[in-house]
Structures are given as C-alpha cells and as structure tokens.
Amino acid sequence: MVLLDNEIVKDIVSKAKRIDGRKFDEYRKINVQKGIVGKANGSARVDIGNTTVMAGVKIEPGEPFPDTPDEGVLIVNAEFVPIASPDFEPGPPDEHSVELARVVDRMIRESKAIDMKKMAITKDEVWKVMIDIIILDHDGNLIDASGLAAVSALLDAKMPVYAIENDKVVVDYEKSGTAPLPVERKPVSVTVFKISNSLLLDLTALEEQVMDARLTVGSFERDGNILLCSMQKGGSGGFTLEEIDRAVDMAIEKGKELRALL
C-alpha cells in the first residue's frame, strides 16, 4: 500500500499538481500562539496544517562556555513524542531529533538572534537559554514548524527576577519577570523539498516519503536586507547548482511571509 501511495504522489507531482490542491510554493494554513505554558519563561505553539509543534524557553543562571566567558549560553533540544506519529518511538533522542535541534540551534545562533553579550551577569555566571521543542503531531515539515515555534517562544520570553548575593545569582521563582529577552533578530527557516525534478514547499508526511532531497535555508532581516544565516541539506538525493539557486530564492521570498507571522 505504501508503495502504491508513493507512486500516486510522484505521478501527481509530475503533472505539476499536489494531493491537497496547493501550489508548489504554497504553505498550509499556519497558526502561531504564544504564552501557552505558564511555568515557562516563554512558550509558543505552531500549527502548519496538521503538524503541531510546541516550544518552551527556560532561562536560568549557569557557567559560561570556556571560549565565550562573557556571553550567555544557548541550548536547543527536540523531543519526538510517540503519540505524534507511528514512526516515533520512546527512548533517547535519535538522529532525526538531534538533526532537528541542531538545525534550529544553528539558525538562531548564526543569525545572532539573541544578543549574548547582554546575557552575562557576573564574572562567573551568565544566563543559559534553553529551548525545548516538542513534536505533538507530525504531518510533515517539522523543521520549519519547529523554527517558527522556537523563535516565537524566544519573543515571548521574559527575563527572570533575580538578585546578586555574595557574588551569586539568586533567582526569585515566585515572581514573574517583565523584561523581555534581548532578541535582536527574527530568523526563520524555509525547507525546499525536491521530488523528481520539482521543487516544493511545506510537504506533508505522505509527500515526504517520496522526496529525493531537502534544503533548509535560514534567513533574517537586517536594515531592510535579507541575509542568509544557515543551510542544511537532507535526503539521499542531490541538487544541481541551478536548483540550489532556485531553492534559495524560494526560501528568501517565502521567509518574508513567515517572518510576518512572528
């Protein structure tokens, strides 16, 4: 049955059509909700069609990395909840969740979305920003949904209320912070998928079964210009140089629409 489904999908795409009638560069309906987890410093839920992703942000004091002693720390984790898909199994993170976390981390980190210099507190402690991404329902295009959820949660995040006692940071967990996290930029990721000789956006889980390759392009806006900050290639197939150029153009154009949702 799966083989038959795959052949049907490929045949439909070869005729410049899609199963749900969308255009090749058209996303499903996107919904973004912020502030959905009361105990988190920031949170967001993103729905792209039937794909649902939630992201939570926790901010706490900790030690800096040795090579960046005057900067805060960013950590991104992703969890594929078994109820989200028959393909997800309980247990430690697999290569798919590790890749997802790294792609989102790279997009945020390389765009300099957070001013990490402002996250230093004392000579020994900095703020650690931890983003947890949870896949609640998987129907394709998890990277783009996760990127939107993570950045939305960062924009929703508030800095903790704290005091410095004996050169140590003491957080008052009974009080809710009001100062926003110093988010300077709003990066988004757009994944361009290749099926045969066609390039498409926002694949469903069924369409992803027949993809040859994907290219995720992270971008952000600065002074009215769109700049690239990350790229990640996936899948066993490849792209020609012309296809890469087209994919980047598609990602830049669609990224403007996604950024407006933030």
**Tokens representing residue 151 in the block:** 């950045």
pLDDT tens profile 118-173: 999 998 999 999 999 999 999 999 999 999 999 999 999 999 999 998 888 999 98
**Three-state DSSP state, 13:** helix
pLDDT tens profile 233-246: 999 999 999 999 99
Q: Please count the other Cβ atoms lying within 10 Å of the Cβ belonging to residue 61.
A: 20
Q: Can you identify the CATH homologous superfamily of domain 2-260?
A: GHMP Kinase, N-terminal domain (3.30.230.70)
C-alpha dihedral (261, 96, 138, 34), degrees to nearest 10: -30
Helix H or strand E segment including 221? strand 213-222
Map out the domains of the chain as residue ranges: 2-260
* CB burial string 14-41: b at 16+ within 10 A, e below: eeeebeeebebeebbebebebeebeebb
Task: Give the pLDDT confidence score for residue 47 in this predicted structure.
Answer: 98
pTM for this model (two decimals): 0.93
1-8: long-range contacts (C-beta < 8 A, 24 or more apart)?
A: 2/209, 5/206, 5/209, 6/209, 6/210
Contact 24, 199 (CB under 8 A): yes
**pLDDT at residue 1 greater than cutoff 50:** no
pLDDT tens profile 8-22: 888 899 889 999 999
Question: Alpha helix (H) ranges present in the chain?
Answer: 2-14, 95-110, 142-156, 205-208, 241-260
Contact 46, 32 (CB under 8 A): yes
Contact 87, 138 (CB under 8 A): yes
What mean pLDDT value characterizes the chain? 94
| C-alpha to C-alpha distances, 130 to 21, 58, 123, 152, 230, nearest whole angstrom | 39, 5, 21, 14, 20
Task: Give the pLDDT confidence score for residue 89 in this predicted structure.
Answer: 77
Indicate the pLDDT class of residue 82, thresholds 50, 70 and 90.
confident
Indicate the pLDDT class of residue 3, thresholds 50, 70 and 90.
very low
Using CA atoms, how far apart are residues 174 and 69, in angstroms rounded to an integer?
Answer: 29
Q: How far is CA 118 from the centre of its chain?
A: 23
Using CA atoms, how far apart are residues 7 and 142, in angstroms rounded to an integer?
Answer: 23
| C-alpha to C-alpha distances, 196 to 25, 207, 211, 225, 246, nearest whole angstrom | 16, 12, 8, 33, 15
